[in-house]
Structure 1
């Protein structure tokens, strides 16, 4: 084990709790009066952005403490409730400080910072889903351009993924992580200056490219720490952070965009990225990621990689279709845009519950190919149903099924990638892996926007693509599926 500096999760929670309490008081006691009594609405926009970023960091620390300290869940519930009540954070801090020794805190390994970076990267992605197409149309974009605005991010993200994969094995992930975090944060703030569809497309392109540096580097490190025979369940833990982003991102962006504006959402996520950039710059440098002296291995064809890359494409083709079609479907049926965010969060809640439950042990016990097929077929069934359903109750039930499918698919495709690579070429493989992720989103959003048909037919097209992919997986992989269950 590397002797990196350790940080106690409970003290990180207390720190974020205090600054969250202070920022809440400034928002309510200074910014709000300036808006309503002095006619300065920008005060709420600016302070609210800062408070929002701090709040996200605070929620992340609660999750970290719950997982590492394993305190009684009512402490986590108190922590969440305190964030909405003035002065409550300070009272809770005193109570936690008195009982700190009882919580038997474990040292905070920097691996959790990598998990937080993964959470941020997917928070950035999922926060865009319910608002990007409508934000584009608010700037005067046509339906076609709105679909391009959703997809161009992933199109350029593909280039960033490939570049990151190439250099991760050569230089180690540290430099790519800090460059990606800083660049992504800057581009999130740049959405404030998007006033035309053309400027939005430029910002989306640069945002996607620089954001593509983060995920391959972070996932390479996590994969290299996985224990043999536990790859499926350990990737489920990583999936829990991805799923948490899928829960918080759409709900937060859908509500905040409706109450304030879409740029406010991007600014808040950008501030969270700045916090992680500072933490990564000082905590990861020279401790976690060291340049390898061995020359990276060439990435050779392996049957498992076929399913890994194909599965990545299919899963994110579905996500791209969902991002493009669901808000339009919700609007078509006369529901509020806020519903899109809560619907997208529903599948995330379902996936996280499975990732953190004993069900995740099935990902080690069952063949990965079986888990993959189950997951993709459930997602396909959900996509088909979304084009036919018309009630909110049905929509929520369908997104639960979608979440189960996501929970089975995500660990399975990561197991395939782990089996088909070594530590010396895994970075490049993750670069290609997430390039297929991005390509899937491009074709699932912009690609479908080129098809002139009803929304119900487009949902059917999405389901058909997924079913064909699931059925063909067995033909593409000509080896015993049990060999990938470990």
Structure 2
């Protein structure tokens, strides 16, 4: 009789919990009280390796067990809380017999691939600037190599879209996973700024192959009246990556090294590639739905719905770029600890995930995506205006929570709008350009605010007004379309 997937999760969780206690209770005191630096390096490396096994056990259980997605979230959270794994094991032991093993759900694997791609991105945020400085990069080069990833990612997104339509999403997913996981290992070779620049270009480009193919796979295998809900669930994994990625890399890099952190991410990518080869290989590229030359033309991608989705993607990530650039400076100016910036960003991610996973996600299939899009971008614009006026910790958390709600409304809306506005045989190309606008938005958000002569409050105010104007344009366009109808 085969062991239950929850059993594997419990064993991996206990090992992860024990290794965390050893790291915190033995290795760290040996380093800071006894001066034995190697204790943390060794214990941290072991804990990192066990965490990877634990993460894979969570994925396996999510694929095979008929239980709530909240169990997976709880399992992830337990890994960052001392004794959390032991409490989880006690809970799982009592309920293990209640959950049956189900057949493999390919959708969860696609969600996990999306998580990996954004986990790769977000895990870079806390460590890349310090890593670049450690190999001798000047302040200009530090900023350059951070933006270079997103720029290279743009070209990867576009190529992925074109290749996905030509060869099918499965082959491009496999190519992206293998190349991206391999590129992460190249950071071990970095010992000077010039090599780091080359590695960043390679890493950014090949990582850009994954997301358009993954979203195309998901969209092409979902019935039309559930696209909004599925886009929200996909957004859940993006939100989880935004919450877990920075925390994981920040903690692990402080105990081991940045290349080791990227090696951990690489192992997860290779594991997903193996699982994809086993479970997704049966998927065949879709045949064209029509031979109409108009449908297959390049121009057909750029209809009004697609243009709105692209604009929404750009302004969503433009806003994110502004948050990443100005929020830490605003927090520092107010006299708060720099750690507050990280917890504020995690807070907005948590709020967004709750909107994604709770029954609120049904709204995305019951309300027109242009309406929820206008609401989302409006809430994000309002929060930008309020951030600059917020001076207390409580006010900042409330405003970032509002921003999280806006993000949660906007992300599924623009995905649903894109899906409904494109035929299946052009969806890969459409998603390629879509995520190219994502990448460009990140670069533009921080760059434009750096160029303009605004102080911190002025920067937030400018961004807020820009988003509110865009929300008004979307709402006005929708009202005009109703009038003509």
Calculate the TM-score normalised by the size of structure 2.
0.83
Contact kept? 1:127, 1:249, Cα under 8 Å: yes
Q: 1:65 to 1:254 in 2, by over 3 A?
A: farther
Is it true that 1:48 corresponds to 2:50 in the alignment? no
Give 1:324's aligned residue.
Answer: 325
Aligned-partner SS, 2:391:
coil
2-structure distance, mates of 1:282, 1:225: 18
Give the one of 183, 191, 196 matched to 1:187.
Answer: 183
Aligned pairs for 1:456-467 (under 5 A) are 456-467=457-468
1:348-391 Cα deviation digits (max 9, x unpaired): 11111111222222222222212111111111222233333333
1:162-195 Cα deviation digits (max 9, x unpaired): 1110011111112211221122223333334444
Mark the runs of 5 or more structure 1 residues left unpaired by the alignment. 1-7
1-structure distance, mates of 2:307, 2:265: 34
Aligned-partner SS, 1:230:
helix
1-structure distance, mates of 2:74, 2:151: 40
Give 1:4's aligned residue.
Answer: none
Aligned residues: 471
Give 2:345's aligned residue.
Answer: 344
Give 1:70's aligned residue.
Answer: 68
Q: 1:457 to 1:262 in 2, by over 3 A?
A: farther
1-structure distance, mates of 2:322, 2:79: 38
2-structure distance, mates of 1:349, 1:475: 31
Mark the runs of 5 or more structure 2 residues left unpaired by the alignment. none
Give the one of 280, 283, 288 matched to 1:288.
Answer: 283
2-structure distance, mates of 1:135, 1:453: 30
My pick for the range that moved more, 85-94 or 394-403, is 85-94
1:409-464 Cα deviation digits (max 9, x unpaired): 01111121112111111111111111111111121134434446533333333323
**What RMSD over aligned residues (CA atoms) do the two structures have, in Å?**
3.8
1:258-291 Cα deviation digits (max 9, x unpaired): 5555445433323322221222233322x12447
Contact kept? 2:122, 2:246, Cα under 8 Å: yes
1-structure distance, mates of 2:208, 2:303: 24
Contact kept? 2:379, 2:405, Cα under 8 Å: yes
Contact kept? 1:253, 1:341, Cα under 8 Å: no
Deviation at 1:85, TM superposition (A): 4.5
Contact kept? 1:82, 1:89, Cα under 8 Å: no
Contact kept? 2:374, 2:475, Cα under 8 Å: no
Q: 1:319 to 1:141 in 2, by over 3 A?
A: farther
Is it true that 1:216 corresponds to 2:230 in the alignment? no
Deviation at 1:224, TM superposition (A): 1.3
Q: 1:478 to 1:160 in 2, by over 3 A?
A: farther
Contact kept? 1:150, 1:445, Cα under 8 Å: no
Aligned-partner SS, 1:424:
helix
Contact kept? 2:332, 2:338, Cα under 8 Å: yes
Aligned-partner SS, 1:202:
helix
My pick for the range that moved more, 38-47 or 269-278, is 38-47
My pick for the range that moved more, 30-39 or 337-346, is 30-39
Deviation at 1:132, TM superposition (A): 3.8
Give 1:15's aligned residue.
Answer: 8
Q: 1:78 to 1:415 in 2, by over 3 A?
A: closer
Deviation at 1:69, TM superposition (A): 2.0
Aligned pairs for 1:107-126 (under 5 A) are 107-126=103-122
My pick for the range that moved more, 125-134 or 433-442, is 125-134
1:50-93 Cα deviation digits (max 9, x unpaired): 13323433454566678x4239x789858965885599499659
Aligned-partner SS, 2:225:
coil
Give 1:5's aligned residue.
Answer: none
Contact kept? 1:306, 1:477, Cα under 8 Å: no
Aligned pairs for 1:62-211 (under 5 A) are 68-70=66-68, 81=78, 84-85=82-83, 88=86, 95=93, 100-133=96-129, 135-136=131-132, 144-211=140-207
Aligned-partner SS, 1:480:
helix
My pick for the range that moved more, 188-197 or 371-380, is 188-197
Aligned-partner SS, 2:224:
coil
Give 1:309's aligned residue.
Answer: 310
2-structure distance, mates of 1:79, 1:399: 23
Contact kept? 1:148, 1:446, Cα under 8 Å: no
1-structure distance, mates of 2:483, 2:105: 33
Contact kept? 1:168, 1:176, Cα under 8 Å: yes
1-structure distance, mates of 2:315, 2:163: 26
Deviation at 1:470, TM superposition (A): 2.3
Calculate the TM-score normalised by the size of structure 1.
0.83
Contact kept? 1:171, 1:291, Cα under 8 Å: no
1-structure distance, mates of 2:467, 2:248: 29
